[in-house]
Amino acid sequence: MNTQKELEILGKSLIGKKAQSKLLTELTASGRQILSPAKVITAYEIVQSFMEPTLMVTIDGETIFEETLINIH
């Protein structure tokens, strides 16, 4: 379980980094589903989810759970 302060530190550290999300996908010309290319994380917010603070990040204009990020660099 992360505290509010830990999530703020993590959120600030992710701003400006590139990452992919397990949720953001694209279709290829042949109709296959692939992960969208890595995009820059531009913002974060801490929300309440199931009565616990949870980190959400904005990537390519979409707000997603930080837990779904992969390939962060």
**Which tens digit of pLDDT belongs to each residue from 13-32?**
999 999 999 999 999 999 99
Q: Give the model's pLDDT for residue 1.
A: 64
> Looking at residue 2, what is its pLDDT?
79
Q: Report, as ranges of residue numbers, the positions in the chain whose pLDDT lies below 50.
A: none
Q: Which residues pair with 18 in a beta bridge?
A: 40
**pLDDT of amino acid 9:** 96
Residue 58: strand, helix, or coil: strand
Tokens encoding 42:
């531009």
Range list of H helices, 1-73: 4-14
Single-letter amino acid code for the residue at 6: E
Full strand arrangement of the beta sheet holding 69-70: 62-65, 52-59, 39-49, 18-21, 69-70
What is the model's pLDDT at position 53? 95
pTM of the model: 0.86
